[in-house]
Structure 1
């Protein structure tokens, strides 16, 4: 088999796995149904990925990298952008990655499922992607808070979690939201509007928080 054929088979397996894992989760999905959708031999999974877990891990890495490449957290902002502008860009990027509706629409669903139903692959993802993103968000939050807030402060951690929580709620509860608020849109403009709301809501909360000085024993 030529290299181009091998690469094509691997691509089909990843695309099929993305659809099935995002719909069923890691445990319920089977290698056979992935291969059936990909029109590939079961042996191809072992050749390219080792096993089902290897396929899933590579798929998650691709999902994160594809999302961040298409929607970087700075969203093209100039380096001189304010903390408030960077907070909006971070949130906008997050929502676009989680709610995307293009070829890799399964990426957001897959990431949301992994965060709520973690597998052993989460440790690798946390170290390589989630921790750096968390540190970036905490740096922005600390700057918006001001008053000497540091990224290591518990308060900053809580505030960053509150920002992410709003984004994850929308991603995880989209089906319910569409029933409760049918006028809300999840197209490009609708996602930008949601990002603006979360950013404004969070910025106002951060700027009006009581001054706290973290003390350590």
Structure 2
């Protein structure tokens, strides 16, 4: 193996080891020594390959997201000129596959849960470089389904609602299985869940404009008894 090949292999071992440790212990509690030990590298390797523990953390976040999107891209094989409903199913299925991935980067969503609870300065860069491009694909699909009259805020909220369903079915499955023991929410596998979320979302988007806000004009609840 060439020296460059060995360096690349060491770099990948550091990324994998750091991702696992950061996701379990958090950035501050994780130490350079335990990361390099887990990666079977010397203690100077992090400085050599990344410059600092801080920059290693950013590299871990970006690398895992980029790899997940490479394996399960938002288009998931659907052509750009395919009907919007087909592209929505492809997007939902790809997102569910990323959320359910138990492979090499299974720690990614534990790490992102920590980021949601305690955002680091690197979250903005990860959103901009990794998450925003995929989200733009979903917003374009949703905008097409809603029609030209939909404003950007409505498009964004509807896109967020699609993602919310995916995260709920995947991340909250242990709770859902106990709430509905007679009906496993994951029954039929990821494709079945993806079809359900897509059908539900298509129906909601089709009826969104018809559901005038006057229907929702309820008396505000003040918390005071009459």
TM-score w.r.t. length of structure 1: 0.84
Structure 1 residues 98, 26: closer, same or farther in 2, change over 3 A? farther
Superimposed CA distance per residue, residues 114-147 of structure 1 (whole angstroms, 9 cap, x where no aligned partner)? 3443211111112212222222211111111125
2:91 corresponding residue in structure 1:
90
- Unaligned 5+ segments in structure 2 are 213-226
1:67 corresponding residue in structure 2:
68
Whole-Å Cα distance in 2 between the matches of residues 203 and 42 of structure 1?
53
Whole-Å Cα distance in 2 between the matches of residues 84 and 48 of structure 1?
44
Structure 1 residues 6, 190: closer, same or farther in 2, change over 3 A? same
> How much has 1:162 moved relative to structure 2?
1.1
2:6 corresponding residue in structure 1:
5
Whole-Å Cα distance in 1 between the matches of residues 171 and 41 of structure 2?
32
1:198 corresponding residue in structure 2:
197
Whole-Å Cα distance in 1 between the matches of residues 77 and 143 of structure 2?
21
Structure 1 residues 9, 185: closer, same or farther in 2, change over 3 A? farther
Per the alignment, in what secondary structure is the counterpart of residue 81 of structure 2?
Answer: coil
Whole-Å Cα distance in 2 between the matches of residues 135 and 165 of structure 1?
16
CA contact (8 A) 2:169 2:186 kept: no
CA RMSD of aligned residues (A): 2.6
CA contact (8 A) 2:18 2:35 kept: yes
TM-score w.r.t. length of structure 2: 0.81
> How much has 1:44 moved relative to structure 2?
0.9
Whole-Å Cα distance in 1 between the matches of residues 186 and 13 of structure 2?
28
1:140 corresponding residue in structure 2:
141
CA contact (8 A) 1:17 1:34 kept: yes
Per the alignment, in what secondary structure is the counterpart of residue 105 of structure 1?
Answer: coil
CA contact (8 A) 2:36 2:43 kept: yes
1:173 corresponding residue in structure 2:
172
> How much has 1:165 moved relative to structure 2?
1.6
5 Å-filtered alignment, 1:44-193, equals 44-146=45-147, 148-150=149-151, 152=152, 154-181=153-180, 184=184, 190-193=189-192
CA contact (8 A) 1:71 1:93 kept: yes
